[in-house]
Structure 1
Amino acid sequence: MADTGKLSTKVVAVAAGEAHTLALTGDGRIYSWGRGMFGRLGTGKEADELTPVEVKFENSEETRIKFVGVASGAYHSLAVADDGSVWSWGYNIYGQLGFDGENSAKPCLLEQFLNTSNPDSSTDDSETKSKTVNKVSNIKAGGMTSLAIDNLGALWIWGNYLQQNSSPEGGFSFVSSFTPTPVRDFLGHAVVKVACGNEHVVALVSAGEVHKGEVIVCYSWGTNKHGQLGLGDRESRHRPEIVKTFNQDSPWAAYEVACGAFHTALLTHKKRANGTLESACWTFGLGENGQLGHGTTQSTVSPEHVKELPDSVHLISVDCGLFHTSVVSSAGDVWSWGMERGLGLCPDARVSAVSGDATSPLLISCSEENAKFQNPIQVTCGAAHTVLVGNDGYKLWAWGRGRSGVLGNGITTDCLTPTSVSWPELTEDPKQEETKTVGEEDKGTEEQKDSQEVAEADEKLKALQLRLSTMEQYVSLLHHSIFGKPYEEKDIPTSLLNSGTFDIAKEWENMLESADRAKLMRLEMFYRNMLSGVKDQIMKKRVLEALKECLSKGN
């Protein structure tokens, strides 16, 4: 029988969003930390958490819910329980929580999914349908999109994703779906794993009807202007298409997949002549920050092998941040590459100890004494931070951006090297009565005063953090209204960061010059609607003023 005490502190899975992280323990509990805006931590509030806190789930039954999977989008979170139910919380502007409504700071049961029968069910018989009600076995999220794989291998998608227009002009556009929709292209096959970027999806699918360890085929779809679909061109696809490098006849079998904002990474293996397996990492898509690891900043439209990784290692985990990538070997080697030498830090971080992007894999050392991480399990990448699970799940390391407590170490400063996450969660020791001498009593009084001053300082800090969180939320909502996406730190103008001054006319001109046609059309529509609303209000006020003037003259 498993040791429940140990399982409660053993992390079996992690997932990172834009600036938050989720950890799943062996006994089925979920912990979160980092930025709390939009309720993405699931704590019932939007305050940041500098160290891991347990996410509480309201259940009508007396038994505690045991979770078996977690996933993080940019600003939302998902969890799947051992009974196949799905829970969601956080940002919901595109319906990525699986229901039509506001953001949720508390986990919500995705009831719409439970009420949906399996897409393979073609009969109208009510008894048969009740037997094919979905139970989710795996979940994934990315950007503003959510995905789930059910117990029969069917893939479901909701939130923001690409769809072909029904208009005569054709073309593609993004739709917001508030309920899970089956990806019917895979009916008759089993989806094994799936990953999602800002605007694209990549899935590993069984060649046969069920997955029994046979050939896996890689499919991709979504926007493709950087070649992130790996299909050899930059044409977008609204339906899944096979990536030829990893088709049924390929000697390479894909077993892990991850997506960054606009790039993709896969882990594959093939048998050597001596019968052993050779492991390899492949990347494609946007490469301007070195996130492909090919030694250049060139983008690629077809999968290419990350050649500078050793051939002798077995890679067990891969993940992508917005513009960086990390892999882990079974021996405890960790490599990262991409923005700010693989840290994922945005250029405005102005970290003096590092400079430039890493175009090739860099080995990340556990400590000055030991380069390897003992018994690694998984790596996960947020927008600008990385978290590694090691020591068979009993220790977590994090590095990169530290603002809002993203690294889970109790502080808010960036860390260029791995730092220990405060895990297991910090608990207070039981109070013990002790006999004190007169000198100790005086010392205790001084310590109480110091403690009171610290408490007052903490209250002031919390008040400032609350004001900052409110301001950030206001800015993000305003930014979303204008530009169609939430505010991110990379959206801060360089002039404001460098000099503290902001020339709005100049920045506006620069933004218009760099915007593509779609963005300009959205801006035109936004300001046209705004101007129309202002004109309507001016006309209403004029009518009211004229009416008041007429009434006053009549009296």
Structure 2
Amino acid sequence: ASWTGRAPASPASAPRPSGARRRCSAARVRAPDGRPGRLDDAVAVAANNDFSMALRRDGTVVTWGEGSSGQRGTGERTAPPVPTTVRAPDGRGALTGVTAIAADGHTELVLRGDGQVLAWGANAGGMVGDGTREDRALPVPVRGLDGAARLDGAVRIAIGGQHGLALLRDGRVAAWGRNELGQLGDGTRQDRLTPVLVSGVGGEGVLDGVAAVASAEKHNYALRGDGTIVAWGNNTAGQLGDGTVQPRTAPVTVVGRSAPKLRGAARVFAGEAYGAAILTDGTLLTWGAGGSGQLGSGKRTPRSRPGTALTAAGTVPADALSVGVGERHLILLLRSGAP
């Protein structure tokens, strides 16, 4: 099932890599680095802003699309018309050991099996997390907390609009990059060139007990082990789900449909200015911007607290498995046979 409205058209003059042409039907991605055949053994993909990347079974990463900020990860700022393999930080050979990827289209993140996070690409806001504002055409380690050389112990990553998040093994969350709307959750609006810990709810202490994170352009969610969700950052359309439209520089609790706290959440997703959660019973809840119908509420109005989505027949969809969130549309995956 999907709900959608009209999204802004892509500018006809948007630059494309040399030799690229538009496709109106599906096409197989070519093997990287000019080798014959097709890209295979992919286990995950990510895409944004004229850029795509794939994680392969052997722990290497392949990129294609825009490259002017070094986001191809090859050491060059070019956009070859064929996929290329991301290189190691020293430029010698391929980057290996990667277990997760996150694409912004300008700045890219990867997580390695040893818990290390690396980044490359645009860095004007410090979103590479290496302590500088210098664009990086090769991966560099994201710096650690309190001046450590690198961030270790990460188990999940997410990237929003010019900021990154890493969920640490101990349930805390590290954030870095742009912070003009409090999207780093550290209680300030100060950009951070290296990671800082997200504050606790209301700015008290440090946020902990987190099981998953989701990031959008200027706001973020953290799903806690007790099934509650906290949010921070921009809130002009009610995307923090706390019943207000007030931006928050530290996490606030997402409220329930008719309760002070949403409970029983199993998964959380971040759209451009809205959010979605799937509960343990398979119920889908949405909140935030709704002008294009992306909340599936039957209306085109925003809402600042979670509410149920509806099908075209006016029924509440059951047995939700996952959600795909676009800028202004949402796609819901249901269990086979669900109404």
Q: What TM-score, normalized to structure 1?
A: 0.49
Following superposition, the deviation at residue 306 of structure 1 comes to 0.6
The equivalences for 1:100-179 within 5 A come to: 100-104=76-80, 106-112=82-88, 115=91, 134-142=96-104, 144-162=106-124, 174-179=133-138
1:191 to 2:139 alignment? no
Alpha-carbon contact 1:263-1:284 (below 8 Å) kept: yes
The residue number in structure 1 matching 2:3 is: none
Deviation per residue, 1:59-85 (Å, 9 max, x gap)? 648897211111223331111011011
The equivalences for 1:303-382 within 5 A come to: 303-309=251-257, 314-340=264-290, 343=293, 354-366=299-311, 368=313, 370-374=315-319, 376=321, 378-382=322-326
Deviation per residue, 1:98-153 (Å, 9 max, x gap)? 132433554322245695699xxxxxxxxxxxxxx732111012252100011211
1:217 to 2:172 alignment? yes
Q: Tell me which of 204, 214, 219 is aligned to 1:263.
A: 219
C-alpha distance in structure 2 between counterparts of 1:185 and 1:312, whole Å = 32
Contiguous gaps of at least 5 residues in structure 1: 1-18, 20-34, 119-132, 165-171, 207-214, 270-277, 346-352, 396-417, 419-555
Deviation per residue, 1:286-321 (Å, 9 max, x gap)? 111221112221101110011125768532322222
Q: What TM-score, normalized to structure 2?
A: 0.78
Q: What amino acid maps onto 1:391 in structure 2?
A: R
C-alpha distance in structure 2 between counterparts of 1:67 and 1:114, whole Å = 24
1:86 to 2:48 alignment? no
C-alpha distance in structure 1 between counterparts of 2:90 and 2:320, whole Å = 37
C-alpha distance in structure 2 between counterparts of 1:251 and 1:258, whole Å = 15
Deviation per residue, 1:156-203 (Å, 9 max, x gap)? 001112467xxxxxxx98432111111131647321111111121111
Q: What amino acid maps onto 2:254 in structure 1?
A: V
C-alpha distance in structure 2 between counterparts of 1:252 and 1:188, whole Å = 17
Higher RCO (CA 8 Å, separation ≥ 6 residues): 2
C-alpha distance in structure 2 between counterparts of 1:251 and 1:145, whole Å = 25
C-alpha distance in structure 2 between counterparts of 1:242 and 1:251, whole Å = 8
The structure with the larger Rg is: 1
Alpha-carbon contact 2:65-2:81 (below 8 Å) kept: yes
1:58 to 2:31 alignment? yes
The residue number in structure 2 matching 1:68 is: 43
The verdict on how the C-alpha distance between 1:162 and 1:256 changes in structure 2, with shifts beyond 3 A counting, is farther
Alpha-carbon contact 2:89-2:140 (below 8 Å) kept: no
Alpha-carbon contact 1:337-1:343 (below 8 Å) kept: no
Contiguous gaps of at least 5 residues in structure 2: 1-6
C-alpha distance in structure 2 between counterparts of 1:287 and 1:163, whole Å = 21
Q: What amino acid maps onto 2:209 in structure 1?
A: A
Deviation per residue, 1:233-270 (Å, 9 max, x gap)? 212211111113189x868511211111111111112x
C-alpha distance in structure 1 between counterparts of 2:177 and 2:39, whole Å = 38
Deviation per residue, 1:460-518 (Å, 9 max, x gap)? xxxxxxxxxxxxxxxxxxxxxxxxxxxxxxxxxxxxxxxxxxxxxxxxxxxxxxxxxxx
The equivalences for 1:383-394 within 5 A come to: 383-391=327-335
Alpha-carbon contact 2:185-2:233 (below 8 Å) kept: yes
Alpha-carbon contact 2:59-2:97 (below 8 Å) kept: yes
C-alpha distance in structure 1 between counterparts of 2:283 and 2:292, whole Å = 15
Following superposition, the deviation at residue 342 of structure 1 comes to 7.7
The residue number in structure 2 matching 1:492 is: none
The residue number in structure 1 matching 2:246 is: 298
Q: % of aligned pairs identical?
A: 23
C-alpha distance in structure 2 between counterparts of 1:72 and 1:245, whole Å = 31
Q: Tell me which of 282, 304, 308 is aligned to 2:230.
A: 282
Alpha-carbon contact 1:38-1:105 (below 8 Å) kept: no
Root-mean-square deviation (Å): 3.6
The residue number in structure 1 matching 2:183 is: 228
SS in 1 for 2:59: coil
Alpha-carbon contact 2:235-2:248 (below 8 Å) kept: yes
Q: What amino acid maps onto 1:263 in structure 2?
A: H
The verdict on how the C-alpha distance between 1:109 and 1:294 changes in structure 2, with shifts beyond 3 A counting, is same
Q: What amino acid maps onto 1:196 in structure 2?
A: I
More deviation in 286-295 or 54-63? 54-63
Alpha-carbon contact 1:279-1:313 (below 8 Å) kept: yes
C-alpha distance in structure 2 between counterparts of 1:57 and 1:387, whole Å = 27
Alpha-carbon contact 1:336-1:342 (below 8 Å) kept: no
Following superposition, the deviation at residue 45 of structure 1 comes to 3.1
Q: Tell me which of 46, 49, 53 is aligned to 2:22.
A: 46
